[in-house]
């Protein structure tokens, strides 16, 4: 559905995107991740036809985003980070206007607008001025706008930014429902959302693709550490004994009366629980609790996007 080949974008002497290549297959929900300034928004603006690349190519459903821009744009719906809406218009009026601009046949406009009002759960706001809507409802209007011409692909740039937790949950469910029949490329800083929604992740840093895989594989295959917490009554040599375990990278100890909480940083995929319990039995430590926290997507993201290279 999306094909990016050696895409580069320069602004004078600054290169925002550096020869990146990636693909998004039909039916996928792909998270496009990176810190601020990584090149995410620039890439999305190129894919949606708002910016020309300096070199390289990008296509939507086989149509070049610039040489065949009209055909490419017919097949995509775009929700930018700051949704541009005509706030003096009513919701239904605005969506009918946008449908006409996007080439929806006149005989189908009312039907399509009705469909997206229902789909985005804003039918009860059809006759309300956009200026009077909350930010959450404005996001839903933006989604309805992106969908009104029934595109095969949705490109969503920070769709939940600035929303409260309830609004985020609502918009997230809307996106998951929309993705059942469409391909979705979504950029967001909320990494738990990516894990809940996306089948695959593309990480960009300093204008270059640093990784592309499922969230699960990224957690398994990268060096990001996990963590284990041990609460025990142990001797003064406990920290050194725990550090001696090969898969333990570091240990911190926090005393709490007779008990001490030991926090162990681990190699990725390490599971030293059994070895720690053997050590505790040998040294007659009294263990109150032991639990392991696996490396998260946030750990992997931090590892991939804090490198200087």
Please check whether residues 187 and 250 belong to one and the same domain: no
Please check whether residues 172 and 245 belong to one and the same domain: no
Q: Between these two residues, 8 and 196, which has the higher pLDDT value?
A: 8
Phi, then psi, of 6 in degrees rounded to 5: 50, 45
Choose the final residue of a domain: 181, 204, 220: 220
21-45 pLDDT tens trace: 999 998 899 999 998 889 998 999 9
Please check whether residues 92 and 39 belong to one and the same domain: yes
25: closest CA among 58, 48, 2? 2
Sorting pLDDT into bands at 50, 70 and 90, what band is 309?
Answer: very low
Sheet of strand 286-293: strand arrangement: 248-256, 259-266, 226-233, 286-293
CA–CA separation, 76 and 71 (whole Å): 9
Choose the final residue of a domain: 204, 220, 236: 220
In-domain check, residue 57? yes
Q: Residues 76, 81, 86, 88: what is their CA dihedral angle, to the nearest 10 degrees?
A: 150
Tell me the three state secondary structure of residue 115: helix
Q: How many domains are contained in the chain?
A: 2
CATH at residue 135? 3.40.50.300
17: closest CA among 45, 28, 31, 1? 45
The tokens for 60 are: 């939507």
Please check whether residues 138 and 213 belong to one and the same domain: yes
Tell me the three state secondary structure of residue 11: strand
Q: Residue 274 is part of which domain span?
A: 224-304
Please check whether residues 34 and 120 belong to one and the same domain: yes
Please check whether residues 162 and 85 belong to one and the same domain: yes
Sorting pLDDT into bands at 50, 70 and 90, what band is 197?
Answer: confident
295-308 pLDDT tens trace: 678 878 887 887 55
Phi, then psi, of 248 in degrees rounded to 5: -95, 125
CATH at residue 296? 3.30.70.1340
In-domain check, residue 309? no
Please check whether residues 282 and 229 belong to one and the same domain: yes
Choose the final residue of a domain: 158, 185, 220: 220
Please check whether residues 172 and 299 belong to one and the same domain: no
Please check whether residues 273 and 215 belong to one and the same domain: no
CB 52 within 8 A of CB 46: yes
211-257 pLDDT tens trace: 999 988 887 776 556 789 999 999 899 999 999 999 898 999 999 99
178: closest CA among 118, 218, 132? 118
CA–CA separation, 177 and 228 (whole Å): 36
CA–CA separation, 299 and 297 (whole Å): 5
Tell me the three state secondary structure of residue 183: strand
């Amino acid at each position: 559905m999306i094909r990016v080949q050696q895409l580069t974008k320069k602004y004078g002497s600054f290169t925002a995107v550096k020869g990146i290549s990636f693909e998004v297959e039909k039916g996928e929900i792909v998270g496009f991740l990176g810190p601020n300034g990584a090149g995410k928004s620039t890439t999305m603006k190129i894919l949606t036809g708002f910016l020309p690349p300096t070199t390289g190519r990008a296509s939507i459903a086989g149509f070049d985003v610039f040489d065949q821009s009209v055909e490419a744009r017919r097949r995509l719906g775009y929700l930018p980070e700051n949704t541009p809406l005509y706030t003096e218009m009513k919701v239904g009026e605005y969506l009918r206007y946008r449908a006409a601009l996007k080439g929806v046949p006149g005989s189908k406009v009312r039907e399509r607008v009705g469909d997206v009002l229902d789909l985005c759960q804003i039918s009860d706001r059809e006759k309300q001025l956009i200026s009077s809507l909350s930010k959450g409802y404005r996001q839903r209007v933006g989604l309805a706008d992106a969908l009104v011409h029934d595109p095969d692909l949705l490109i969503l740039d920070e769709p939940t930014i600035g929303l409260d937790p309830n609004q985020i949950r609502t918009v997230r469910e809307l996106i998951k429902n929309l993705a059942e029949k469409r391909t979705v490329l979504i950029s967001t800083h909320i990494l738990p959302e990516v894990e809940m929604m996306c089948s695959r992740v593309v990480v960009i840093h300093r204008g270059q693709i640093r990784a592309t895989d499922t969230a699960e594989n990224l957690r398994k295959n990268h060096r990001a550490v996990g963590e284990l917490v041990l609460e025990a009554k142990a001797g003064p040599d406990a920290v050194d004994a725990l550090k001696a375990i090969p898969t333990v990278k570091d240990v911190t100890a926090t005393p709490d009366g007779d008990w001490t909480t030991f926090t162990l940083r681990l190699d990725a995929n390490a599971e030293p629980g059994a070895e720690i319990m053997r050590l505790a039995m040998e040294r007659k430590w009294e263990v109150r609790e032991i639990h392991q926290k696996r490396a998260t997507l946030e750990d992997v993201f931090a590892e991939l996007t804090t490198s200087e290279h």
